Every structure is written in structure tokens, then in C-alpha cells.
Amino acid sequence: MNLTNRSVVVVKKEMTFLEKLYLPAILGGMWITIRHLFKKKATVNYPEEKRPMSKTFRGHHVLKLDEQGRERCTACGLCAVACPAEAITMVSAERKPGEEHLYREEKYASVYEINMLRCIFCGDCEEACPKEAIFLTDRLVDADYKRGTFVYGKDKLTEKPDKPIDVSPRQTKEVLEFKKNKKFAHNN
């Protein structure tokens, strides 16, 4: 019984003289190749050439500093709790007197790690953060051959004071409205 009407009966018939020559088939194949040479390419020469990305693309995270160059993260752990992939781990530490220029809050993350092989770039950590400390950016996670190199620590995640990372393209009107909504107790 046929489930669809697309089935074709295969007939094993003798090859004609032309088919036995193979030349028409070879020329036909070459004609298809030549036609493709003049068509618009479907591929790009990455990484020299890059395709435009959506402004809401979620890639490599950044741990933001405040206007005075201090770490915003207070090691509250909400991002780790919100993470569905359990990709975030951290160790918290108390800020010592004299370290106020380094850490904005009394508690900070002495260790903060994201396993980029586990991360699914959902953005839940960004939404959960009450300190505007973590954002996803349009940067790509670099490829590598070793699994260990994909555990990104503060050295790779924290932005440099002299090279701030602009996260505004991802802060669309809808995202900002969500963050301002007190119903979700976000960034109070």
C-alpha cells in the first residue's frame, strides 16, 4: 500500500548508446557547475567577511564595570540559580577596607566562571541580575581544540576600564520596558 503518491517505480532498463558514452552526463554536470559560478554565492569568507547579525543576538557575556570602573557584581548568585544549563559558578568574598575603588558592593565575586560549552545563550542570567552586572553581547565565543579553554573566568568576562563594551544595541525598547517593570522586581 502506498502512503503517498510520490513513490516511483524503478525500472532496470538497458542503457542507450548515448548513456553508455557518459559524455552527455559529464557535460550536463559541468554545465550545472559553470552556471553556479555566476550565481550569487551562498557562503561568505568567514572570518574576513561577516554576515550582519541581529541586534538582539546573544553571544559572549561581559561583566560590566560601573561609571567609576568598579565591578558591579555582588556575587548574589541569582544568575547561577537562573541558569538552566548550570553553566555559572562563583566564589564570593567580602570587600576589604581600601578596596572600595575596585568593588561597588560589600561583597564581590573573587571567582566567576561560565562554561561556554554548557551555555545555551538564553540570556536568563542577564535578566536575573539585580545589579546590571552581566550582559550578553554580539561577540562570538572563539573556537578551540581543548575543552578546558571554554571555561571563561573573570579575566575573559570582565570588561577593561579603558575598553568599555557597548551593550546598548541589545537593550531594545521591549527589554528596557521589562527591566523597568516593578512587577518583576528587577534591578531594585
Amino acid at 126: E
Q: What is the nearest approach in angstroms of ligand SF4 to the Cβ of residue 40?
A: 34
Identity of the residue, 34 or 143, whose beta carbon is nearer to ligand SF4 in the bound complex: 143
Q: What is the nearest approach in angstroms of ligand SF4 to the Cβ of residue 131?
A: 4
H/E element holding 78? Answer: helix 78-82
Cβ within 8 Å of residue 103, ≥6 positions away: 70, 71, 95
Backbone angles phi, psi at 177, to 5 degrees: -65, -40
C-alpha cell at 96: 576589604
- List residues near ligand SF4 by CB under 6 A: 73-79, 82-85, 87-88, 90, 114, 119-125, 128-129, 131, 133-134
Q: What is the nearest approach in angstroms of ligand SF4 to the Cβ of residue 78?
A: 4
Identity of the residue, 19 or 59, whose beta carbon is nearer to ligand SF4 in the bound complex: 59
Identity of the residue, 24 or 130, whose beta carbon is nearer to ligand SF4 in the bound complex: 130
Report DSSP letters for 123-137, one per residue.
-HHHHH-TTS-EEEE
* Total H helices, total E strands in the chain: 6, 5
Identity of the residue, 110 or 181, whose beta carbon is nearer to ligand SF4 in the bound complex: 110
Q: What is the nearest approach in angstroms of ligand SF4 to the Cβ of residue 36?
A: 39
